[in-house]
Chains A and B, each alone.
Chain A
């Protein structure tokens, strides 16, 4: 079946602009996660959704970052007033639910470049 998909695969924007990154999780997965991966580093947790609600957004770096999941499926990560330091690969993952051993399946990521 289809895995986690993310669009666009690449996004180049200018400093100060607004961007939206989309994640389509695996059908039936209620849990959705966003991570950010800087060059040469491991992914860093941003936010977690269980259904429609953001259960934990403690990883969002500041109030320029916001994410939604209005219908409990597709999620959008929104970044306002982008800065060069926001350049990274943004990864989305989904899992069946909260249970401790539910594997997180990752999408290919969106590479964001802020000029």
Chain B
């Protein structure tokens, strides 16, 4: 079936460290993945996306890596800041003719000053 899950429910880091958040997906036919950040009381906010024909994509302080062999996705945040504290979700776009998103459970990132 379709499912997207995360390995670690909570990740605690120090300010300035690099953070890595992991995600496993099960639908090998999925060809598009997105990372979202969700702060308390707010809706998910797009961070970065990647297509299955890519292994890596970089944004501002963030990098997404895709390993299709083991169906694994990761989000790397460089020089983590307190403002990065939030819950992070990976989402898989299911090819149904429209953008149906399948979200994982989420990882809470806690950044200590």
Contact = CB atoms under 8 A, between A and B. Distances in A.
Interface of A: 4, 31, 33, 35, 40-45, 48, 50, 55-56, 91, 93, 95, 98, 100-109
A108 B42 contact: yes
6 contacts: A40-B106, A43-B44, A45-B101, A98-B97, A98-B99, A101-B49
Contact of B105 (A40, A50, A95): A40
* B-side interface mostly: strand
Contact of A100 (B32, B45, B106): B32
A33 B94 CA distance: 14
Contacts of B44: 43, 91, 106
A104 B103 contact: no
B71 interface: no
Contact of B96 (A56, A104, A108): A56
A13 to B, nearest CB: 20
Contact of A48 (B98, B102, B103): B98
Contacts of A41: 105-106
Contact of A43 (B32, B42, B49, B101): B101
Contacts of B99: 31, 33, 48, 95, 98, 100, 102, 104
A42 B46 contact: no
A106 B43 CA distance: 5
Given A100-B93, A107-B43, A45 B102 contact: yes
B100 interface: yes
Interface string B69-113: 000000000000000000001010100111111111110000000
Given A33-B99, A109-B43, 15 more contacts: A35-B101, A40-B105, A42-B106, A43-B101, A45-B102, A48-B99, A95-B99, A101-B32, A102-B99, A105-B46, A106-B43, A108-B41, A108-B42, A108-B43, A109-B42
